[in-house]
Structure formats: structure tokens, C-alpha cells
Amino acid sequence: MKKIEWVDGLSVGIDLIDDQHKQWIEHYNHAVEAIQAKHEVAQIARSLDFLSDYTETHFATEEQVMTESHYPELEEHKAKHDALRKTLAAMTGEFIEDGATDLLAESVETFLGNWLIKHIKEVDMRFAAFTRAG
């Protein structure tokens, strides 16, 4: 499992959103650390909970910004958020049942870490460019 490092190439040009992405990465890295170190179940659960809560805060912020700027692709973007909301809930459920397995580590890395980077670069960049232009 790899931690994510913030790089300037991830900036979408809106400070509020960039700051939230940085926070998200921090929460993600904490979860990675806890899973890798095979910390106590309660501690891993807590780090996944923080990540879920923060994901919700962040998605809600983006959806509000997109609504306010009348972004035409809001529904598509929201559908992508909804898919991750489901993935994250499923992952947390699996963890509670099975503990910190290698499979959990792999899905956290693939479905959260890789997802986030791709989502920022491809999906968030688009709405940010639209919002900045408006």
C-alpha cells in the first residue's frame, strides 16, 4: 500500500477544493498507516470512519459549488460520488466482518487511493475549470 503525496499537478485551481483534497489525502494516509501496521481493529475502524465522514463533507461541498455555478455535468459528477459512497460503505462493512485483510488493503489502495487521484485529475478538474471560468 502506498501513501499519497500531494503534488501541484493535483491542484484544481480553487483553494477551498485543493485544501479539502489535501485533508482527504491526510485521512487516507492515516487509514493506510493503520491498516499496514495492522493496528487494533478499533483504530482502523476509526480511521475508516474519519475518511468516510470527510468524504461526505468534501462531496457535499463540491456538489454545492457545482449547483451554485450551474454546472451542466452535475448529475454525472454526482453519480461518480455516489458510486464511491457505496464502495466506501461496502469496504467499511467488509472490514468490520473480516478485519484488516490483504484484500482490504488492496481495495483501499485501488478503490480509494487510485480512484481519488483519477477523479481529481479527470472529473474535479473539469468542474473547477468551468467554475473558474464562470
Residues that bind Fe ion in the complex, under the rule CB under 5 A: 62, 124
Q: Shortest distance, CB of residue 115 to Fe ion, whole angstroms?
A: 10
Q: Shortest distance, CB of residue 57 to Fe ion, whole angstroms?
A: 11
Distance of CA 68 to the CA centre of its chain: 22
**12/91 with CB nearer Fe ion:** 12
C-alpha cell at 125: 478538474
Q: Shortest distance, CB of residue 76 to Fe ion, whole angstroms?
A: 11
To the nearest 10°, report the CA torsion of 102, 27, 90, 53.
160
Nearest-CB residue for Fe ion: 124
- Which positions ≥6 away from 3 have C-beta within 8 Å? 28, 29, 32, 33
**109/124 with CB nearer Fe ion:** 124
